[in-house]
Chains A and B, each alone.
Chain A
Amino acid sequence: MPFIPHTTQDVEAMLATIGVSALDDLFCEIPANLRCDPPKLLPALNEMEITRLMAQRSAQDGGMLGFLGAGAYDHHIPAAVWEITTRGEYYSAYTPYQAEASQGTLQVIYEFQSMIAGLTAMEVSNASLYDGASGAAEAVLMAVRCSRKKTACIAIPATVNPRTIATIRTLISQQGIELLEIACTAQNGRIDPATLAQYNAKDILALLIPQPNYFGLLEDVDLLTDWAHAQGALVVGIVNPLALGILKPPGEWGSQGADIACGEGQPLGIPLSSGGPYFGFFACKKQWLRQLPGRIVGRTQDREGKRGFVLTMQAREQHIRRSKATSNICTNQGLMTVAATIYMAIMGPTGLANVAYACHDNSRKLLEQLTAIPGVERLHSGHYFHEFVVKLDRDVAKVLEELLAVGIVGGLALADNCMLVCVTETKTQADLDSYKAALADIMLRSDS
């Protein structure tokens, strides 16, 4: 039987030990009228058959030259990352409750926390959350717990990824928290510090600052951080961890640094996989440690003074605190943090910076090439990391469809015939040239 080792003799001996005569008898406590037949599912396949089916389906998918970003990014992943990550000892272990028999997973998480703290320049990190967007929602909930203000007003700039905002809305919907949208003009694409004065700042208990923001642009994080702190508000930085190879880390924003840094961890060695699994990283200043959501690993020692690692500060968590827990979260994204830790260890500080530089360099080149095409203009001005918005003089959806027909996913359609384009280190000059040639051809053939 698939994945069941029992022989007929085993079953007979076991039933006799239990003192029943048939497997059916084991379910005698289920009321008779609730019992059912086995479900009618698609017919069972053996491994050879399912391998063939999945190979066909996989071959149907992907395979495009892609310039999509918007929160998930195509990066080179060293072969060693997933070779090691999918070792059975990591893959098929559980949350390390029995620390002495789980030192592998625990030490990896401790190293992960250390690397995330290093990358963000924050003092402490947790063991990860489900993804960047749900992590941002946890940051909002945490800010409410940390703040001394009586209000529950969180300022969210319109430059935060709309998918993150939607997720935050779902997850905090029942908490009576007000989300105050900080507007930005379509042309500017960034939070304009000059407009902040119009808000009732004394009610704001936290400001979320994306870096880079949804449009790829770099926010004036120092000024925004100092402004928020001057109003007695906390600062939550939502950052791209790969960009932190070169960008100023949240812990160094403004004069005091951000209070919480979180974001989507996917760029650190996690495949795109149609959207998941990814992981959210989450770091903060030490003073907020007791309000951190999720699992945390700490270093300790055994009775002989030997170094070891354990899950710690579990008094915050649902299995102890029940209805008073800091979050209902049980797991972290264990295996994803193994991959990210190996990725960061292989790349090192210089490698990560080099990838970030290459992403920026490639996007700069593509932007130059695309805006040389008549009818294509850059929407914003100002500095960006590896994404930018271009405006077309015609229907963007139709242009993207025509690009798809020649094997190019050109970007993400935004309002007003704009599109968000991303270029990472994986693209060669030839890739950029193909994109330019295809778009130029389409723009030439179709009418504006």
Chain B
Amino acid sequence: MMVDRIIFEDSQSGRSNSHQWPKQKADCDLPPSFLRTTPPSLPEVSELEVVRHYTLLSQKNYSVDTQFYPLGSCTMKYNPRACNTLAMLPGFLSRHPLEPIETGQGVLASLYELQEMLAQVSGMAAVSLSPMAGAQGEFAGVAMIKAYHQHNGDVERVEMLVPDAAHGTNPATATLCGFRVREIDTDKNGDLDLASLKAAVGPQTAGLMLTNPSTLGVFERQIEKVVAIVHAAGGLLYYDGANLNAITGRTRPGDMGFDAIHINVHKTFATPHGGGGPGAGPVGVSERLKPFLPTPIVACDRSRQNKKYHWLYVNDCPKSIGQLSAFMGNIGVLLRAYVYLRMLGGPGMRRVADYATLNANYLLARLSAAGFSVAFPNRMASHEFILTLKPEADNYNVTALDFAKRLLDYGFYAPTIYFPMLVPECMLIEPTETESKGELDRFVDAMVAIRNEAIHNPRMVKDAPHNIPLAGVGVGRLDETQAARKPDLIWNKE
């Protein structure tokens, strides 16, 4: 029964797990003015109750380990278990961040090699691992562009260009870095509109933030022209690495001419999404932005017989934009990415792009043949693609949201919906390279079956989900409007 209860509802005053407690006397010499007068409101439950509660709760989740999770732009591929096991070895877990480098040569060697490998894969001159998530990597990249212009006395460059199809983080980051945001149009084939770009650039241009392949799931074919236009105007180019997994081993952002890039290791390098973090967002830069990289950075002293690794801090890098966290970033996550990269090697990195792209184009071809509308039918898809369910919405009054909810009943997590906003009733589908042909075929079957329901029994789709195949009692479609209107954010005894 506990599965439908909140842990506080099982709390019994006086129940405890004293085997987890230290043995000292529970008392102190601190004056009462510093102390709390009532104990914190935390549940009092047995260890078994805790274990059972959170085990049962876990079973109310869809996850990559249990379901196909084709969430476009999020790259929900298999997270190899070895990466977790090896990143959680005791020597790595127990080391304090401020310990001398002598006690951390193992972790530092791994991080140094990761830095070098990420530079190779992305084609950038140097990499810092310190950003704690993709969005923070974006912040670091844009802050470096700002620092570069300021260093050159180029203070009039106050505008950051962002395609209208970009992730919401791009404009949010530009604002956080003190830039004005100017949107650039996308043309009907999904490429950046060059006329719109040319009209926008000028002495006020600090740079352009671009995802390539774009959020529309296609490669920016005129990338060389885009780079030339922005560079000619004195701006720099920022690469949003959200879709790097589509091109690893096939082409490199550095070779395209990008000046700064962030890498979402939870996408391209298979670290877990963890229900929404922690991620890590290493940044790579071209030669001219190198001095501005965020600290700390791992360095290697090769002058000795045995290599010795150490940290470079702000004092060692006076032009650095500074530190982004209290310590060295999300090292445990980076170790997982390191293990993954070591298991794949260079040829494996190309296979990631190849099979992700193969799966996406196969799924697209099958759904298209089954009568679904593809947003960019004349383009080769990258690692993901967009369907528009506008015909279904127009003809049967069944929306992308309804399709998404009904997919849950069929045992699939839903693709990303209503992003990018340019395409009406869209579904952004990313199968990833780790799914088999059989799984993709089953997804096509489900989509076709749902469309048949939409035609013959639309309520079945509109009221979904009905029966999500998960343990315990499931919920039906949840009321998000009520949640926002009358926020209930913490448990209160009723």
Chain B interface residue count, CB cutoff 8 Å, equals 204
Minimum CB distance partner of A102 in chain B: B61
Stretch at the interface among B73-81, B193-201, B390-398, B453-461: B73-81
Pick the contact of B96: A66, A125, A317, A320 (CB < 8 A): A66
- Evaluate contact between B339 and A54: CB separation under 8 angstroms: yes
Q: Residue A47 at the B interface, CB < 8 A?
A: yes
8 Å CB contacts to B: which residues of A375-425?
383, 400, 404, 409, 412, 425
- Evaluate contact between A348 and B251: CB separation under 8 angstroms: no
Minimum distance in angstroms from B369 CB to a CB of chain A: 8
Return the CB mask of B114-153 against A: 1 if under 8 Å, else 0: 0001001101000000001111101100010010000000
> What chain B residues lie within 8 Å of A404 (beta carbons)?
100, 102-103
- Evaluate contact between B30 and A58: CB separation under 8 angstroms: no
Given the contacts A19-B365, A72-B97, A134 and B132 also touching, CB distance less than 8 Å: yes
- Evaluate contact between B224 and A34: CB separation under 8 angstroms: yes
- Evaluate contact between B273 and A95: CB separation under 8 angstroms: yes
Minimum distance in angstroms from B482 CB to a CB of chain A: 5
Minimum distance in angstroms from B23 CB to a CB of chain A: 8
- Evaluate contact between B66 and A61: CB separation under 8 angstroms: no
Given the contacts A29-B218, A54-B86, A94 and B275 also touching, CB distance less than 8 Å: yes
- Evaluate contact between B489 and A4: CB separation under 8 angstroms: no
Stretch at the interface among A167-175, A179-187, A430-438: A167-175
Chain A interface residue count, CB cutoff 8 Å, equals 201
> What chain B residues lie within 8 Å of A28 (beta carbons)?
380
Given the contacts A58-B91, A321-B168, A101 and B35 also touching, CB distance less than 8 Å: no
- Evaluate contact between B96 and A248: CB separation under 8 angstroms: no
> What chain B residues lie within 8 Å of A132 (beta carbons)?
326
Minimum distance in angstroms from A228 CB to a CB of chain B: 18
- Evaluate contact between B272 and A92: CB separation under 8 angstroms: yes
Return the CB mask of B1-34 against A: 1 if under 8 Å, else 0: 0001011100000011110111111111111011
Q: Residue B301 at the A interface, CB < 8 A?
A: no
> What chain A residues lie within 8 Å of B82 (beta carbons)?
47, 50-51
Expressed in whole angstroms, the Cα–Cα distance for A98 and B218 within the complex equals 25
Q: Which of B92, B223, B482 has the most CB of A within 10 A?
A: B92
What's the A-B contact tally at a CB cutoff of 8 Å? 691
Expressed in whole angstroms, the Cα–Cα distance for A127 and B276 within the complex equals 10
8 Å CB contacts to A: which residues of B422-478?
433-437, 463, 465, 468, 470, 473-478
- Evaluate contact between B78 and A3: CB separation under 8 angstroms: yes
- Evaluate contact between A167 and B98: CB separation under 8 angstroms: no
Return the CB mask of B321-344 against A: 1 if under 8 Å, else 0: 111111111111100000101111
Given the contacts A26-B354, A98-B408, A34 and B255 also touching, CB distance less than 8 Å: yes
Q: Residue A374 at the B interface, CB < 8 A?
A: no
> What chain B residues lie within 8 Å of A111 (beta carbons)?
6-8, 491
- Evaluate contact between A310 and B480: CB separation under 8 angstroms: yes
- Evaluate contact between A354 and B278: CB separation under 8 angstroms: no
> What chain B residues lie within 8 Å of A440 (beta carbons)?
none
Return the CB mask of A292-332 against B: 1 if under 8 Å, else 0: 00011111111110111110111101111111110111111
Minimum CB distance partner of B279 in chain A: A331
> What chain A residues lie within 8 Å of B74 (beta carbons)?
94-95
Return the CB mask of B30-43 against A: 1 if under 8 Å, else 0: 11011111011111
Q: Residue B50 at the A interface, CB < 8 A?
A: yes
> What chain A residues lie within 8 Å of B31 (beta carbons)?
383
8 Å CB contacts to A: which residues of B345-402?
345-351, 353-355, 357-359, 361-362, 365-366, 369, 379-380
- Evaluate contact between A346 and B275: CB separation under 8 angstroms: no
Q: Residue A443 at the B interface, CB < 8 A?
A: no
Stretch at the interface among B171-179, B228-236, B282-290: B171-179
Q: Residue A86 at the B interface, CB < 8 A?
A: yes
Pick the contact of A82: B17, B42, B88, B221 (CB < 8 A): B88
Q: Residue B181 at the A interface, CB < 8 A?
A: yes
Expressed in whole angstroms, the Cα–Cα distance for A244 and B35 within the complex equals 9
Given the contacts A63-B103, A117-B490, A425-B22, A41 and B345 also touching, CB distance less than 8 Å: yes
Expressed in whole angstroms, the Cα–Cα distance for A66 and B78 within the complex equals 37
> What chain A residues lie within 8 Å of B65 (beta carbons)?
88-89, 91-92
Expressed in whole angstroms, the Cα–Cα distance for A196 and B320 within the complex equals 33
Q: Which of B21, B47, B433 has the most CB of A within 10 A?
A: B21
- Evaluate contact between A40 and B328: CB separation under 8 angstroms: no
Q: Residue A372 at the B interface, CB < 8 A?
A: no
Expressed in whole angstroms, the Cα–Cα distance for A97 and B251 within the complex equals 32
Minimum distance in angstroms from B263 CB to a CB of chain A: 13
Q: Which of B50, B138, B274 has the most CB of A within 10 A?
A: B274
- Evaluate contact between A18 and B365: CB separation under 8 angstroms: yes
Pick the contact of A218: B30, B59, B123, B329 (CB < 8 A): B30
> What chain A residues lie within 8 Å of B87 (beta carbons)?
54
- Evaluate contact between B42 and A409: CB separation under 8 angstroms: no
Minimum CB distance partner of B408 in chain A: A101
Q: Residue B71 at the A interface, CB < 8 A?
A: yes
Minimum distance in angstroms from B490 CB to a CB of chain A: 4
Contacts A96-B276, A118-B40 supplied; 14 other A-B pairs, CB < 8 Å: A2-B344, A2-B351, A31-B221, A42-B117, A70-B98, A84-B55, A92-B272, A101-B465, A108-B275, A119-B41, A276-B328, A336-B274, A346-B50, A361-B25
Q: List 15 A-B contacts (CB under 8 A).
A: A17-B362, A26-B357, A34-B251, A56-B106, A71-B327, A80-B50, A100-B465, A101-B62, A113-B490, A124-B490, A130-B330, A222-B33, A276-B332, A298-B484, A334-B274
